[in-house]
């Protein structure tokens, strides 16, 4: 990500925020299902705080999409609000789609 003309490590920013949210609290993860590869998909909480939802709301995570479809459709509106508010990655000058980044490309 490019923010104010400089490279911004949004992954590190998300990690730091996650550490802040968790602190010394216990984390509870509820396995919801398995994905198409058989991996467990879980929602993780500190108390009643949904950690993934919070990071999406703060623009520090994006909703994962598989073949163009959101895997957590209930978070699409949360992501859209973060985008409208211009928070986190949505405040960047240039955003590289995480999936494209993993594949070595841009958007």
pLDDT band at 106 (very low <50, low <70, confident <90, very high): low
Residue 96 lies in a domain: yes
Q: Is the pLDDT of residue 107 over 70?
A: no
Full residue range of the structural domain in which residue 66 is found: 2-21+52-102
Structural domain tally of the chain?
A: 1
Whether 34 maps to a domain, the answer reads no
In-domain check, residue 47: no
User: Which pair of tokens denotes residue 69?
Assistant: 């479809």
66 falls within a domain: yes
pLDDT at 66: 83
Residues whose CB falls within 8 Å of the CB of residue 86, separated by 6 or more in sequence, listed in order: 59
| Cα 64-54-34 angle, rounded to 5 deg | 40
pLDDT digit string, tens, across residues 3-32 = 666 777 888 999 999 999 999 999 999 998
The answer to whether residue 35 is domain-embedded is no
For residues 23 and 96, the model is more confident at 23
26 within some domain: no
Confidence of residue 84 (pLDDT cuts 50, 70, 90): very high
Q: Nearest-CA neighbor of 60 among 89, 23, 18, 101?
A: 89
pLDDT digits (tens, 9 = 90+) for 47-82: 999 999 999 999 999 998 888 888 889 999 999 999
């Amino acid at each position: 990500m490019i923010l104010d003309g400089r490279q911004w490590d949004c992954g590190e920013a998300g990690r730091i925020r996650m550490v802040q949210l968790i602190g010394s609290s216990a984390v509870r993860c509820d396995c919801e299902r398995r994905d198409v590869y058989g991996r467990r998909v879980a929602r993780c909480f500190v108390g009643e705080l949904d950690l993934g939802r919070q990071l999406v709301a703060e623009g520090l995570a994006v909703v994962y999409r598989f073949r163009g479809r959101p895997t957590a459709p209930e978070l699409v509106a949360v992501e859209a609000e973060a985008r409208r508010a211009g928070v986190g990655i949505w405040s960047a000058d240039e955003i590289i789609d995480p999936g494209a980044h993993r594949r070595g490309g841009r958007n």
